[in-house]
């Protein structure tokens, strides 16, 4: 397949480029910025809302599948730049889907987010849980899913939306508690943070997020088009600190109580992804953090 990966310079997009290339596909990146990580690949620069630019790239490379990973990717960023978030994530997504429709590209994986669920009191978040987006970012991600559903229903496309848990790993640029703790530990810097220990989030290692994308691209036919993608476990920042402490026992880690302002979302039920996409996360929290730490050590 000739696969266009939007957001190819970002955390998930760059891991997707690597994995799809290793699986023998031709990958073409698309991002508003270039990145050292994806320099080995063909990457075209441009804006997601630039319709003619996307048309020319899709034509030039005879694209027949798209991974739409580009956009503004953090609930807090959505509040700092609400208009930009709506424009990039909603208009940008509809531009990608519309170009796909015009060129009969039916195979599309759209990266949505668990943020669409909003704060909830469920211990387990299933696909039956009502989406209740509580910030601009979450609204924009849910709107992308709705657009995908309409293109599927009315235009025979096959947009699969993956509601990712919080993604961590090499090449993350956005704020992330794991990155924040691990990057200091790798350099032997003691960590004394005033708050955050009680924040619970479901984390997924970036290699698993990329694997889910690969599985979704491969699936011939599935009964639904929206999936939860995570490990099925929430972790507190305190638990992350304990894992990092075991790897770096000389670093003192003290994190005060309280949260970091993220929604509480019960751990994902990912059984549909397992059943229909044959996806199951390979890395638990400890394995993912060790792999990430190894990357940071090598790239110090």
- Residues of the shown chain interacting with ligand NAD in the complex, contacts defined by CB under 6 A: 7, 9-13, 31-33, 47-48, 69-73, 88, 92, 111, 113, 141, 164, 166-167, 173-174
Q: 175: which 2 tokens? A: 């704020």
Of 176 and 193, nearer to ligand NAD (C-beta) is: 176
Q: Give least dist CB 123 to ligand NAD, A.
A: 20
Q: Which residue is at the shortest CB distance from ligand NAD? A: 10
Q: Give least dist CB 190 to ligand NAD, A.
A: 26
Of 86 and 157, nearer to ligand NAD (C-beta) is: 86
Of 161 and 251, nearer to ligand NAD (C-beta) is: 161
Q: Give least dist CB 99 to ligand NAD, A.
A: 13
Q: Give least dist CB 175 to ligand NAD, A.
A: 10
Smallest CA-to-CA distance from 63 within 12, 105, 14 is with 105
CA distance 249 to 252: 8
Of 136 and 185, nearer to ligand NAD (C-beta) is: 136
Q: Give least dist CB 188 to ligand NAD, A.
A: 27
Please list, residue by residue across 256-291, b when 16 or more beta carbons sit within 10 angstroms of its beta carbon and e when fewer do: eeebbebbebbbbbbebbeebbebebebbbbebbee
Q: 289: which 2 tokens? A: 């953090």
**What angle do helix axes 206-218 and 285-298 make, rounded to 10 degrees?**
110
Q: Give least dist CB 31 to ligand NAD, A.
A: 5
Of 141 and 215, nearer to ligand NAD (C-beta) is: 141
Q: How many CA atoms lie within 13 A of 82 on its CB side?
A: 5
Of 46 and 258, nearer to ligand NAD (C-beta) is: 46
């Amino acid at each position: 397949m000739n696969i266009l990966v939007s957001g190819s310079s970002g955390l998930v997009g760059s891991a997707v480029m690597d994995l799809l290339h290793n699986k023998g596909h031709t990958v073409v990146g698309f991002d508003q910025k270039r990145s050292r990580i994806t320099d080995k690949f063909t990457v075209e620069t441009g804006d997601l809302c630039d319709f003619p630019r996307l048309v020319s790239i899709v034509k030039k490379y005879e694209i027949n599948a798209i991974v739409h990973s580009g956009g503004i990717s953090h609930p807090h960023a959505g509040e700092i730049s609400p208009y930009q978030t709506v424009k990039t994530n909603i208009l940008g997504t509809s531009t990608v889907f519309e170009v796909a429709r015009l060129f009969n590209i039916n195979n599309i994986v759209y990266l949505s987010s668990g943020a669409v669920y909003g704060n909830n009191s469920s211990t387990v978040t299933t696909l039956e849980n009502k989406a209740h987006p509580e910030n601009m970012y979450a609204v924009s991600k849910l709107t992308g899913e709705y657009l995908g559903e309409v293109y599927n229903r009315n235009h025979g496309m096959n947009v699969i939306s993956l509601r990712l848990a919080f993604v961590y790993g090499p090449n993350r640029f956005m704020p992330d508690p794991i990155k924040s703790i691990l990057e200091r530990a790798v350099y032997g810097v003691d960590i004394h943070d005033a708050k955050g220990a009680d924040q619970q989030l479901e984390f997924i290692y970036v290699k698993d997020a990329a694997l889910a994308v690969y599985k979704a691209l491969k699936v011939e036919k599935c009964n639904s088009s929206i999936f939860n993608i995570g490990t099925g476990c929430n972790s507190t920042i305190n638990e992350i600190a304990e894992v990092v402490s075991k790897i770096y026992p000389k670093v003192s880690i003290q994190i005060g109580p309280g949260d970091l302002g993220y929604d509480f979302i019960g751990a994902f039920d990912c059984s549909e992804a397992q059943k229909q996409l044959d996806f199951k996360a390979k890395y638990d929290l400890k394995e993912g953090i060790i792999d990430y730490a190894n990357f940071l050590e090598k790239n110090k």
